[in-house]
């Protein structure tokens, strides 16, 4: 059950990071905030790797195919995030973003195809129940029925959401596939080693674009580095925990259990941001927890 604890640590780290995201998003563009995640998170990963190396030894690359999967992970992550950001400019944002949660289903099939992760029947049932609860909670603020959901498929934004969900699923499977080509005494070092390569790639891809388009925002980061640093800090922790959980459990299970972030985010919205909670949100979260518990006991 170690993977459950690690996944929950990832969820907490990601939720805290998102709180700082929300504080910074009003001042900087989404692209620049995303850059903060990798730019300030990289030192965290480097320090973590050096500490791990002193305790457990280094990591050996068994095949150059490792680099293919890490590069795929980095590129897919940037594309998925960019598509998510683009949805802010579309109508029916809530519905469109909900389709991104299809990542949980995509991961299950991609895990079977590329990682040979054969999920038992009760595992599939847990995934479907948890995913259904997640959808119900996500649609809670919208008056939505089957007709409106069908109409949503006529919108470009819905396909953007589905594509983003698929790309997020690809990032998950790609990074776990890269672990096959690493040799080390502990799975945790695989996570840190892979991030040591992926974070610089993402910084190298994002930094020139922001330098050309939003140079003034880079100056703002330098003048006020506190929140960007906290974003990077908790992003580094979150990435490490996510990848570590993926390395020791089925990616579909980790992804679904990780969706309890929605519950934690909702609680923060209620008690920290004083936002209203809807009845269907509570019902959806209860169904989601039931699905997650079924997964755990499976």
Contacts of 108 (CB under 8 A, 6+ apart): 119, 124, 127, 252
Q: For all residues of the chain together, what is the average pLDDT?
A: 86
Query: Domain residues for 269?
Result: 2-297
Question: Which residue's entry shows tokens 């020791």?
Answer: 248
67 versus 94: the higher-pLDDT residue is 67
From the number of C-beta atoms within 10 Å of its C-beta (0-12, 13-18, 19+), residue 25 rates as middle
User: CB of 69 within 8 A of CB of 177?
Assistant: yes
Does residue 60 sit in helix, strand or coil? Answer: strand
The better pLDDT of the pair 185, 154 is held by: 185
Taking every pair of Cα atoms in the chain, the longest distance, rounded to a whole number of angstroms, is 59
pTM above 0.75, yes or no: yes
Which residues, 6 or more positions from 274, have their beta carbon under 8 angstroms from its beta carbon? none
pLDDT tens readout for residues 8-30: 999 999 888 878 887 887 788 87
Burial of 143 (0-12, 13-18, 19+ CB in 10 A): exposed
pLDDT in tens, 186-207: 889 999 999 999 999 999 999 9
What is the domain count for the chain? 1
Nearest Cα residue to 130 out of 275, 297, 273: 297
* Euclidean distance between CA atoms 68 and 115, whole angstroms: 16
């Amino acid at each position: 059950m170690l993977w459950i604890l690690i996944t929950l640590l990832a969820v907490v780290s990601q939720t805290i990071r998102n709180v700082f995201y929300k504080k910074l998003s009003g001042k900087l563009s989404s692209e620049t905030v995303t850059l903060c995640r990798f730019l300030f998170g990289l030192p965290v990963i480097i320090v973590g790797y050096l500490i791990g190396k002193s305790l457990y030894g280094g990591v050996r690359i068994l095949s150059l195919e490792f680099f293919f999967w890490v590069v795929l992970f980095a590129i897919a992550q940037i594309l998925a995030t960019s598509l998510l950001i683009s949805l802010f400019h579309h109508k029916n944002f809530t519905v469109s973003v909900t389709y991104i949660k299809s990542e949980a289903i995509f991961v299950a099939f991609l895990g079977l195809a590329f990682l040979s992760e054969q999920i038992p029947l009760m595992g599939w049932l847990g995934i479907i129940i948890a995913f259904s609860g997640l959808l119900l909670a996500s649609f809670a603020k919208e008056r939505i029925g089957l007709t409106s959901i069908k109409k949503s498929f006529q919108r470009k934004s819905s396909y953007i959401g589905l594509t983003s969900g698929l790309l997020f699923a690809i990032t998950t499977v790609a990074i776990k596939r890269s672990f096959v080509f690493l040799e080390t005494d502990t799975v945790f070092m695989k996570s840190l080693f892979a991030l040591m390569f992926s974070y610089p790639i993402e910084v190298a891809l994002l930094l020139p674009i922001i330098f050309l388009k939003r140079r003034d925002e880079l100056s703002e980061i330098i003048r006020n580095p506190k929140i960007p640093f906290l974003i990077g800090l908790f992003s580094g922790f979150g990435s490490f925990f996510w990848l570590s959980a993926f390395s020791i459990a089925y990616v579909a299970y980790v992804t679904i259990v990780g969706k309890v972030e929605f519950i934690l985010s909702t609680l923060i919205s209620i008690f920290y941001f004083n936002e209203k909670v809807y009845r269907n949100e509570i019902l959806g979260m209860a169904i989601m927890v039931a699905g997650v518990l079924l997964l755990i006991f499976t």
